[in-house]
Amino acid sequence: MSYGPRMLPLNFAQNYTFDSSLPTHTIYIPKKVPDGVKLPIVVWGEGGCAANGLAFNGMLTNWASHGFVILASGPPRGNGSTTSKYMSDAITWISSKAGSGAYAAADPTRISAAGMSCGGLEAYDMNENAKVSYIGIFNSGYRQNTTAIARIKKPVFFFLGGPSDIAYENVGRACSRTMDELCADD
């Protein structure tokens, strides 16, 4: 019985790179992938909607070491701001590149949109994108809009920093009102 995608070993050689055909992003990808292995894809929005693809370099490099392709909004050491259009553009781009060249192992049927804080708000916007299978919200949530969570119609994973996290109360309140079965404590 299979419980999900096969994970590649921890410390699988990885790096981040830049591709001139996607100049608004930083790409984290394993250097060498065994034949026949297909890698899930994460489009990542930075905290503060910052256009610096290295803002979460440690975490995203770790994910790549487990066999993920990550397209982080913002070029390496970039500046400025992003919007959810960066995620949409990354999804369109990787969908056209997957299966060939450096992206031969990328699996465009397994795409997650995720982000930290403001990047998490960008991830909410990917709910209507048919190519996105999962939404990931890290320390993020709408302060007053508790209906955004109810509109998510695909699997979502939340990572909240506890009661001191600015998003904790409003995400918890929205979950308790609209998604008891998803957010219930065990």
Query: Total structural domains in the chain?
Result: 1
Within a domain: residue 6?
A: no
Residue-level pLDDT at 170: 66
Structure token digits, residue 9: 């070993």
Within a domain: residue 8?
A: no
Please give the residue range of the domain that contains residue 109: 14-183
Rg value, the chain, Cα: 16
Of 55, 102, 94, 98, the C-alpha closest to 71 is 94
Over the chain (186 residues), what is each successive 10-residue block's mean pLDDT?
Answer: 48 79 96 89 96 95 92 97 98 97 95 94 93 91 66 83 76 59 52
Residue-level pLDDT at 11: 52
Within a domain: residue 104?
A: yes
Within a domain: residue 2?
A: no
Within a domain: residue 31?
A: yes
In DSSP terms, 16 is beta-bridged to 28
Within a domain: residue 4?
A: no
CATH of the domain at 25: 3.40.50.1820
Residue-level pLDDT at 1: 38
Q: What is the pTM of this model?
A: 0.85
Within a domain: residue 1?
A: no
Residue 12 CB burial class (10 angstroms; 0-12, 13-18, ≥19): middle
Residue-level pLDDT at 151: 77
Cα separation, 173 vs 88, whole angstroms: 29
Strands, sheet with 39-45, edge to edge from the N-terminal-most edge strand: 14-17, 25-30, 69-73, 39-45, 106-116, 132-138, 156-159
Answer whether 51's CB lies under 8 Å from 10's CB: no
Residue-level pLDDT at 2: 43
